[in-house]
């Protein structure tokens, strides 16, 4: 157990604290008056302020009560109005000359401090617009951004930074808002928000602790992962006790609160000081690992086909295939991290397609007509066009800048807490969310008219590339079917195959095909498999677009969206099958349909909250005396 100079106690066991109960000392313990009260004529001005009895407050002020009069604890009326979020009364007091930065109470805090502790965004907006200084410190040495971080008021942290408060502002003990967030708040926000807005993870407090030190002391898994993976926090920063984050984490490898990504990063740093063997250099060379990931599916496909093509017994072939899988599985665990594993599906697709080309040109081309070859090559070229547009094209990423983020935060804050609901605000990108958009956790972007993230093209599917994705699926099915038909031509022209058509006995036909040329059979089996599941995906996509007027995300999560619930589960965007498909494809059918292009990048018309959980809840925890 140790204690820093600010009196913050930290045990080695750690633990995140969601709410600082010491703030309750700001309020006296007198009994509460019943909530339903209509006659305020007997209230003094403090009680009238606390209960929001504006008419009584106005009556007493106009009768001569000094708006800056302090009670026995030097607390002003504006303090009580701020802590209870009495917006109308606050505006009235300020209009009557109330001192916005008046210091009072046990903690020598300003009204802005009091409102911040309770998370009252509306009160903070009023005070800031009236000139309140958010950088003033209370008796504990904390400014408002530190209090907002301690209590997990993410929207307040965003608003203070947008209004010019430095994210690296330190309190009396040298602690930043990021340090407080890592120590006090288990949730991802506001830690993620602070890093996004430029907070440094490597500043140290007066004890030499960084934000990562505090996150480890609190066993704050989300903060530790975020600081190391996204924030590039220094693992070797030494505090006054001689501890580094690396040494603190090293002894905790295997604990439930130390994630897999963090464990991998720790082992990477520990291996830096060790002798670098040839095997170590191979496993740590990022470029080599990338090329291994690209080449593995190509090699695996070829080796599997080669094993099947041998004249060995079936049981031996099966054994060799199992061995191949085991070797690839464990090699993948050694060589590939999560980032590289995310590239596996697209590499599998490219490898399968490459071997299909090889099979067509080497085995099938001599046995089909020139026209058939021309059709195969032309459709294949179109497939490549749609694939590249789906893979490398912009799906509809909602671009932003730091200036735009600040402007958005201020605009939404002045609308009240509802402005920071996920309906309106993405806490990861810090942008105003257009209708039908969604944040992709894989790409870490908000995408307009988000459909899904497709691992087979390693990209999101959204407003700008959805129709190319449909084209990709369609022509992929066509290519697979063409290869299967070409393989049938190949088998029919091989005398030793004895395959002139579909036999009445399917098993005999498949046996003859396998004995004729196992490689062609292997590639054809892959083409058949891909044609089946891609056809199913294509049909599902077309059904959603044409009949439902929904994206995949909307169909799967319609229960989370109010505009679907209020429409009995139906899409309010559907205009009928013909209009839906025409609008999706952007065609007018020679003027038969009127082309209406909706810019989903800038459509913000929301009736109600889409998602149920807001970024910040409106707190009705008024403090009565």
From residue 58, alpha-carbon distances to 90, 115, 116, 123, 623 in Å are 11, 22, 25, 19, 21
The answer to whether 145 and 165 are in contact (CB under 8 A) is yes
Distance CA 369, CA 364 (A): 10
3-class DSSP string for 164-231 = CCCCCCCCCCCCCHHHHHHHHCCCCCCHHHHHHCCCCCCCCCCCCCCHHHHHHHCCCHHHHHHHHHHC
The torsion defined by the Cα of 306, 311, 314 and 319, in degrees rounded to 10, comes to -50
Distance CA 445, CA 342 (A): 16
3-class DSSP assignment, residue 447: strand
Active site includes 454? Answer: yes
Q: Where are the beta strands (DSSP E) in 366-510?
A: 425-426, 431-432, 438-440, 445-447, 452-454, 459-461
**Of 186, 177, 246, 235, whose CA–CA distance to 205 is shortest?**
177
In the chain, what's the furthest Cα-to-Cα distance? 112
CA distances from 256 to 227, 252, 300, 612 (A): 18, 9, 35, 29
Question: How many angstroms separate the CA atoms of 359 and 520, rounded?
Answer: 7
389 near 442, Cβ under 8 Å?
no
Alpha-carbon distance 157 to 174, whole Å? 18
Instruction: Report the distance separating Cα 292 and Cα 299, nearest Å.
Output: 10
- CA nearest to 413, candidates 101, 152, 160: 160
Q: What is the DSSP secondary structure assignment for residue 23, as one 8-state letter?
A: G
- Cβ atoms 450, 438 nearer than 8 A: yes
**In this structure, what are the phi and psi dihedrals at residue 351, rounded to the nearest 5 degrees?**
-65, -45
3-state secondary structure of 489: helix
Q: How far is CA 166 from the centre of its chain?
A: 25
Provide the token pair at 546.
């044409």
Contact 430, 419 (CB under 8 A): no
Of these residues, 16, 429, 454, 497, which one is catalytic?
A: 454
Residue 517 to residue 496: CA distance in whole angstroms: 10
Burial class (CB in 10 A: 0-12, 13-18, 19+), 429: buried
**Which residues carry out catalysis?**
454
């Amino acid at each position: 157990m140790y204690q820093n100079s600010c009196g913050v106690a930290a045990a080695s066991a750690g633990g995140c604290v969601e709410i600082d109960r010491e703030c309750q000392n700001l309020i006296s313990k007198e009994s509460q008056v019943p909530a339903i009260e209509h006659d305020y004529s007997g209230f003094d001005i403090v009680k009238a302020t606390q209960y929001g009895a504006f008419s009584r407050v106005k009556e007493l002020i106009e009768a001569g009560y000094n708006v800056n009069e302090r009670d026995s604890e030097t607390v002003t009326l504006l303090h009580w109005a701020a802590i209870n979020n009495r917006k109308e009364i606050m505006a009235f007091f300020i209009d009557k000359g109330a001192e916005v930065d008046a210091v009072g109470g046990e903690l020598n805090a300003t009204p802005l401090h009091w409102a911040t502790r309770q998370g009252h965004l509306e009160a903070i907006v009023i005070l800031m617009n009236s000139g309140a200084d958010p950088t003033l410190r209370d008796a504990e040495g904390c400014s408002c951004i530190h209090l907002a971080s301690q209590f997990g008021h993410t929207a307040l942290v965003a608003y203070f930074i947008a209004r010019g408060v430095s994210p690296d502002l330190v309190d009396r003990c040298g602690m930043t808002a990021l340090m407080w967030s890592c120590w006090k708040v288990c949730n991802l926000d506001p830690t993620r928000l602070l890093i996004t807005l430029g907070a440094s993870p490597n500043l140290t407090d007066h004890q030499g602790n960084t934000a990562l030190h505090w996150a480890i002391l609190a066993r704050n898994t989300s903060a530790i992962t975020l600081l190391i993976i996204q924030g590039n926090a220094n693992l070797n920063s030494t505090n006054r006790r001689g501890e580094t984050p690396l040494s603190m984490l090293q002894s905790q490898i295997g604990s439930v609160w130390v994630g897999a990504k963090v464990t991998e990063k720790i082992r990477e740093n520990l291996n830096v000081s060790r002798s670098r063997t040839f095997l170590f250099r191979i496993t740590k060379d990022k470029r080599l690992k990338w090329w291994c990931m690209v080449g593995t599916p190509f090699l695996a496909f070829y080796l599997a086909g080669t094993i099947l093509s041998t004249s060995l017994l079936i049981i031996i072939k099966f054994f060799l295939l199992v061995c191949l899988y085991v070797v690839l599985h464990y090699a993948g665990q050694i060589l590939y991290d999560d980032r590289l594993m995310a590239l596996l599906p697209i590499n599998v697709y490219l490898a399968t397609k490459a071997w299909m080309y090889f099979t067509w040109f080497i085995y099938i081309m001599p046995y089909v007509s020139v026209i058939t070859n021309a059709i195969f090559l032309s459709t294949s070229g179109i497939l490549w066009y749609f694939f590249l547009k789906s893979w490398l094209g912009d799906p509809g990423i909602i671009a932003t800048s730091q200036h735009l983020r600040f402007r958005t935060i201020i605009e939404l804050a002045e609308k009240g807490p509802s402005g920071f609901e996920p309906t309106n605000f993405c806490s990861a990108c810090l942008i105003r969310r257009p209708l039908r958009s969604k944040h992709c956790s894989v790409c870490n972007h908000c995408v307009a008219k988000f459909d899904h993230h497709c691992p087979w093209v390693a990209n999101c599917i959204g407003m700008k590339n959805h129709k190319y994705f449909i084209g990709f699926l369609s022509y992929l099915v066509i290519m697979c079917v063409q290869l299967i038909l070409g393989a049938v031509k190949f088998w029919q022209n091989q005398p030793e195959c004895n395959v002139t058509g579909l036999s009445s006995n399917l098993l005999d036909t498949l046996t003859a095909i396998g004995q004729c040329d196992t490689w062609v059979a292997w590639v054809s089996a892959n083409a058949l498999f891909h044609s089946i599941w891609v056809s199913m995906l294509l049909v599902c996509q077309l059904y959603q677009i044409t009949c439902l007027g929904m994206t995949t995300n909307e169909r799967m999560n319609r229960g989370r969206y109010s505009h679907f619930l209020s429409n009995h589960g139906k899409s309010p965007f559907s205009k009928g099958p013909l209009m839906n498909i025409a609008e999706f494809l952007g065609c007018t059918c020679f003027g038969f349909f009127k082309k209406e292009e909706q810019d989903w990048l800038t459509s913000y018309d929301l009736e109600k909250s889409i998602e149920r959980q807001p970024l910040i809840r409106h707190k009705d925890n008024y403090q009565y005396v």
